[in-house]
Amino acid sequence: MTGVVCVLVAALALAAGIVLGRRWGRSRGVVPPTAAPPEPALADLLERVFSATDEGLVVVDRGGAAVLANRRARELGVVAGDKPDARAVAACADVRERGTTVAVDLSPLAARSRRPAAVLARVRPLGDGYTMVEATDTSDAVRLEATRRDFVANVSHELKTPVGAVGLLAEAVLDAADDPAEVRRFGTKIVREADRLGNLVTELIALSRLTGAEGLPELSRVAIDEVVCEALHRTRLSAEAARIEIVVDKPIGLEVEGDQTLLITALCNLIENAIAYSPAETPVSVSRRQSGDAVEIAVTDRGIGIAPEHQKRVFERFFRVDPARSRATGGTGLGLAIVKHVLANHGGEVRLWSSPGTGSTFTMRLPLAPDHAPVHTGGTS
Ligand code: ADP
C-alpha cells in the first residue's frame, strides 16, 4: 500500500473512530453536553487528505475524464481542466484492462516548461472502471543520477589517459630494450604516469570520504599555526623546484575544532596551486588573521589569475581553465573540490579573489573553537 492509500485508510479509520467515539461517549454520558464544534463529515476529511497530500492525485473515469484532481496534480501538469495528460489516460486504459498497477513517466515534453523536470506516476485500479493516478516530482532523484553518471564518465576518462600512456610507454621500453638511454627515458615517463594515477586515486578516495554521509572522523582541537607549518614543510620541495619563495607571517596562536590532516591537505592544495600557476621568481604568501569568531588563512600568488567566468567553476570536480597546463603540472582537477569539501565539513568556506594577469588569493575561513580565548587584534599578527 502506498503512502497515499495508507493516509486515506488512516483518515477513514480516524473519522470513523471520531464519529463512533463521540456516539459512544454521549451514550455513556462521558462527553459533557456543552456545545462542541461540529465534527467534520467523513467526506470532508477525505477531501482534506486529498488536497493536503504532496502527491498529485487524479481520479479518472472509464471515459478518460478527470472526475477528481488535487492542486498538486495541476502543479505537476498531470491534469489541465478536466483533461488528464494523454500518457496518463493511456495508462488508465491499460490498468482497467489488466487490473494491475502500472508506472508511467509523465515528465514534461517541452524543455522550457515551468513544471518540474521529471514526474513519475503510478496508476491503480479503483474498481467500477475508475482509476487513480498518483504522481510524484522526481526531479531531484533524476538530477542526482545525472550528476553521478557525469562523475563516473569523468573518472573513467581521467583514468583512461594515464593508463593508456603507461601501456604505450611499456611497449616503447620493450622495443628499445637494447638502448639503455631510451629505456631510462621511457621508464621515467612511466614513473610519472604511475604517480599521476596514484594521486588521482588518492584524491578520489579523499573526495568520496568527504562527500560521504559519515562526516568528519574524530574532531580534535587543531592549532592553526601547526597546520600552516606542516603545509609549508610539505610544499617546500615544489616551491624550490619552481624557484618560488613562500613568504609567511607570524604565528597567531588560534585553534579550531576539526581534523588536522584534512586541514593540512586543503592548505597544501592551495599552496601547490599557487606555485603551479605562477611564473618562477614570483612570491607566494601565506597569512593568517582572526575575523570575528573565525580564523582566515590566505594564500596569495602573483600568477596567471582566473577570469571571472571561471572563478565559480574552479571548485567543480575535474574543471580546469587550461587542461593542458594542469596536466603538465601533474594536476588532477580535484584539488579545489577537496578544499571546498574540507572547509564545508568544518563549518567554514573557501573564498576566491582573482584577477587575470595580477594573481589570486584563496582564503580558507574556519570557525574558531567554541571556548577559544578571544584575541585582541583583528589584523594579521
Ligand atoms: P588542478 O589539479 O588542475 O590544479 P584544482 O582543482 O586544484 O585542479 O584547480 C582547478 C583549476 O583552477 C586549475 O586547473 C586551474 O585552471 C585553476 N587554478 C587553481 N588555482 C589557481 C591559481 N592559484 N591560479 C590560477 N589558476 C588556478
Q: How far is the CA of 222 from the centre of ligand 1 (A)?
A: 27
Interacting residues of 374 by C-beta distance below 8 A, sequence separation 6+:
none
What's the predicted TM-score (pTM) here?
A: 0.68
At residue 116, the pLDDT reads: 86
By CB atoms closer than 10 A (0-12, 13-18, 19+), residue 147 is exposed
How much is the pLDDT for 23? 43
Other residues' Cβ atoms within 10 Å of the Cβ of residue 244:
23
Residue recorded with cell 495508462? 91
Q: Is the CB of 278 under 6 A from ligand 1?
A: no
User: Does 339 sit in the ligand 1 pocket, CB within 6 Å?
Assistant: no
Question: For residue 77, what is its C-alpha cell?
Answer: 501538469
Q: Is any atom of ligand 1 closer than 6 Å to the C-beta of 265?
A: no
Q: Are strands 284-291 and 246-248 parallel, antiparallel or unpaired?
A: parallel
**The one-letter amino acid at 64:** G
Domains of the chain by range and CATH? 1-53 (no CATH), 56-137 (3.30.450.20), 141-215 (1.10.287.130), 217-381 (3.30.565.10)
Q: Copy the grid coordinates of residue 39.
A: 465534527
> Measured from the CA of 305, which atom of ligand 1 is nearest?
25
The C-alpha cell at 266 is 586543503
Q: What is the pLDDT of residue 7?
A: 47
3-state secondary structure of 355: strand
pLDDT value at position 26? 45
Output the pLDDT for position 35.
73
Task: Compute, in angstroms, the gap from residue 182 CA to the centroid of ligand 1.
Answer: 33
Q: Which cell numbers hold the place of 148?
A: 553521478
pLDDT score recorded for residue 369: 93
pLDDT at 173: 95
The per-residue pLDDT for range 112-142, each reduced to its tens digit, is: 567 788 999 999 999 999 999 999 999 999 8
DSSP output for 49-96: HHHH-SSEEEEE-TTS-EEEE-HHHHHTTSEETTEE-HHHHHHHHHHH
Biggest CA–CA distance in the chain, Å, is: 108
Within the chain, how many helices (H) and strands (E) appear?
A: 11, 14
* Cβ proximity of 338 and 210 under 8 Å: yes
With beta carbons less than 8 A apart as the criterion, state whether 197 and 205 touch: no
Place of cell 565559480: 312
Q: Which of 21, 53, 57, 54 is nearest to 39 (CA)?
A: 21
Q: What pLDDT was estimated at residue 274?
A: 97
- Looking from the CA of residue 338, the nearest atom of ligand 1 is 6
CA distance 73 to 81: 11
Residues of the chain short of pLDDT 50, as ranges, are: 1-7, 9-29, 376-381
Tell whether ligand 1 has an atom less than 6 A from the beta carbon of residue 314: yes
What atom in ligand 1 is closest to the CA of residue 332?
A: 2
* Nearest protein Cα to ligand 1, atom 19: 273
Rounded to whole angstroms, the Cα distance separating 322 from 98 reads: 58
Predicted pLDDT of residue 33? 57
Place of cell 502506498: 2
